[in-house]
Amino acid sequence: MAKVRSEKAGLPPGSLVPVGEDPVLDTSVQVFVYDGDQFTEQDGVSPDRIEVGDPGRTVTWIDVNGLADLKAIKAIGERFGLHQLLLEDVLNADHRPTIDEFQDQLFVVVKMLSLSPDGGEVWSEQISFVLAKGLVISFQNEPGDVLDPVRDRIRHNTGRLRKKGADFLLYSLLDVIVDNYFSIVEDLDRRVEEMEDRVMHRPRPADLVAMQALRRKLMEVTRQVTPTRELAGRMSTVPNELIDKGTRRYINDLQDHTVYIAESIGMLRDQLANLENTYHAGLNMRMGQVMKLLTVISTIFIPLTFIVGIYGMNFDNMPELRWPYGYFAVMGLMAAIAGGMLLWFRHKRWL
């Protein structure tokens, strides 16, 4: 059962209490230590047996998965001098994407987005990063992430990653997370286009429900992308020696990506709003066409009903009643009236 913020009411600052989704997985640790020439990788490392490289020569990435073992989280915090408030924010799954400074460390919170298997929901998971000299620590609650491209670059020594410092590793991790936003936005864009095709051809009541669901997804993505854009902007300007001047240029590019994503989402929201207006306009137009057709039919039958009403009266002295061609003459007259009215409506462009 999800914990809410009210459960922390009255507790001292820095209390390690999960907020949001309850951690259910035991804590596991994966450690990468690398430089430009070699690297080591360790899986299933005990928190009290984590070995780091020389901060002046190597970069160490400690990837912590699962936040259920509070003793392990506390042990990692004590091992690397993490502030209690920092650890408290790590366990706060509802934390807003942000960047904070803690003495000789930078703390970064970002949201990793993914689509549910059926594509019906946008899932969000918090990932917290700690940047120190020659060290990056990442914390996440669920297994599986979008960080495998970074792991592969470390293993195969591709790109600039192994030649750069810990700040570039942090940038690379954030860049992969932000790049995954593009796939989410592209999927939502495809869904909006498909919805537009359906609404333009034949709007249905179910389409309005689907548009509301798309609107909720766009709002969820916006809620995560907007603070991430602010995070990237602040990260590129924060006066901290842990971020090299050369890395700031890459972070500026990361900020440009978040701005582009935010603008794309804004365009999709506007497009969806216009699509809802088009949907209602299409329904009104169809209703108008139906009403026009019914009005034309009613108008044509008014004189025909008048004629039928006259000859439906039971009077003996109606001369046409005994005329051999009376029936055919009346039917012909009614057909002529109906045809004439149809031609007149078409001449007036009412049909």
CATH number, domain containing residue 326? 1.20.58.340
For 201, half-sphere exposure in the C-beta direction (CA atoms, 13 angstrom radius) is 6
- Residue 110 sits in the same domain as residue 156: yes
**Tell me, what CATH number does 177's domain have?**
3.30.460.20
Q: Are residues 236 and 305 in the same domain?
A: no
**Do 10 and 32 share a domain, yes or no?**
yes
Residues 124 and 204 both lie in one domain: yes
Which of 280, 303, 338 delimits the end of a domain? 280
Asked if residue 274 and residue 299 are part of one domain, the reply reads: no
pTM: 0.75
Kindly provide the b/e burial profile for residues 70-103, where b requires at least 16 CB atoms within 10 angstroms of the residue's own CB.
eebbebbbeebebbeebbbbbbbbebbbebeeee
- Same domain, yes or no: 224 and 195: yes
- Closest C-alpha to 25, from 116, 143, 147, 126: 143
265 and 181, same domain (yes or no): yes
Report angle CA 42, 250, 266 to the nearest 5 degrees.
Answer: 105
Residue 201 has pLDDT above 80, yes or no: no
Domain tally, the chain: 2
34 within a domain of the structure (yes/no): yes
C-beta separation of 168 from 247 below 8 A: yes
pLDDT for residue 293 is more than 80:
yes
Domain boundary among 249, 280, 311: 280
Interval 139-184: pLDDT, tens: 998 877 889 999 999 999 998 899 999 999 999 999 999 999 998 8
Residue 113 phi, psi dihedral angles, 5° rounding: -105, 145
Res 12 pLDDT > 90: no
319 in the same domain as 252: no
Identify the domain containing residue 128 by its residue range: 5-280
Phi then psi for residue 132, to 5 deg, are -130, 180
Q: Which of 16-30, 50-64, 80-94, 143-157 has the lowest mean pLDDT?
A: 16-30
Least confident of 26-35, 197-206, 254-263: 197-206
Structure confidence at residue 3 (pLDDT): 47
Q: Do the domain assignments include residue 286?
A: no
Residue 23 has pLDDT above 70, yes or no: no
Is position 285 within any domain?
A: no
Does residue 301 carry a pLDDT above 50? Answer: yes
169 and 303 belong to one structural domain: no
CA 323, CA 231: separation in Å to the nearest integer? Answer: 95
